[in-house]
Structure 1
Amino acid sequence: MAADPFDSALDLLRRLNPKHTSEHLNAIISLAPDLTEDLLSSVDQPLTVKRCKQTGRDYLLCDYNRDGDSYRSPWSNQFDPPLDEGGVGGVGPGGSEGAGEGAIPNERVRKMEVKANEAFDIYRELYYEGGVSSVYLWNLDDGFAGVVLVKKAATPGTNTEGVWDSIHVFEAIERGRTTHYKLTSTVILSLSTNVEGTVGDMDLSGNMTRQVEQDLPVENDDSHIANVGRLVEDMELKMRNLLQDVYFGKAKDVVGDLRSVGSLSEGARERETQRELIGSMKR
Structure 2
Amino acid sequence: MAEPIDSALDLLRRLNPKDVKKNVDNIIELNPSLEEELLESVDIPLSVKRCSSTKRDFLCCDYNRDGDSWRSPWSNNFEPPIEEGITPSERIRKMEIKANEAFDVYRELYFEGGISSVYLWDMDDGFAGCVLLKKSVKGGSWDSIHVFDAQDRARTAHYKLTSTVILSLGTESEALGGLDLSGNMVRQIEQDMAVEDDGSHVANIGKMVEDMELKMRNLLQEVYFGKAKDVVGDLRSIPPLSQTNRDRQTQREMISSMSK
TM-score by length of 2: 0.97
Secondary structure in 2 aligned to 1:164?
Answer: strand
Runs of 4+ with >3 A deviation: none
| TM-fit CA distance, 1:265 | 2.0
Q: Does 1:226 align with 2:226?
A: no
For 2:239 and 2:44, how far apart are their aligned partners in 1? 41
Q: Does 1:136 align with 2:119?
A: yes
Look up the equivalent residue of 1:214 and give its one-letter code.
Q
* Structure 2 residue aligned with 1:66: 65
Q: How many residues align?
A: 260
Q: CA RMSD in A?
A: 1.2
Bigger Cα displacement from structure 2, 112-121 vs 252-261: 252-261
TM-score by length of 1: 0.89
For 1:267 and 1:19, how far apart are their aligned partners in 2? 35
* Structure 1 residue aligned with 2:164: 186
Look up the equivalent residue of 1:39 and give its one-letter code.
L
Look up the equivalent residue of 1:71 and give its one-letter code.
W
* Structure 2 residue aligned with 1:81: 80
Look up the equivalent residue of 1:177 and give its one-letter code.
R
Provide structure 1 residue ranges, at least 5 long, that are not aligned to the other structure: 86-101, 155-159
For 2:250 and 2:18, how far apart are their aligned partners in 1? 46
For 1:33 and 1:277, how far apart are their aligned partners in 2? 69
Look up the equivalent residue of 2:83 and give its one-letter code.
D
For 2:89 and 2:99, how far apart are their aligned partners in 1? 15
Per-residue CA distance 1:57-101 (angstroms, 9 max, x = gap)? 11001110111111100000011222222xxxxxxxxxxxxxxxx
* Structure 1 residue aligned with 2:235: 258
| TM-fit CA distance, 1:11 | 1.5
Provide structure 2 residue ranges, at least 5 long, that are not aligned to the other structure: none
User: 1:116-131 counterparts in 2 under 5 A?
Assistant: 116-131=99-114
| TM-fit CA distance, 1:281 | 2.8
Secondary structure in 2 aligned to 1:272?
Answer: helix
| TM-fit CA distance, 1:31 | 2.0
| TM-fit CA distance, 1:194 | 2.0
Identity %: 69
Q: Does 1:237 align with 2:214?
A: yes
User: 1:25-36 counterparts in 2 under 5 A?
Assistant: 25-36=24-35
Q: Does 1:54 align with 2:31?
A: no
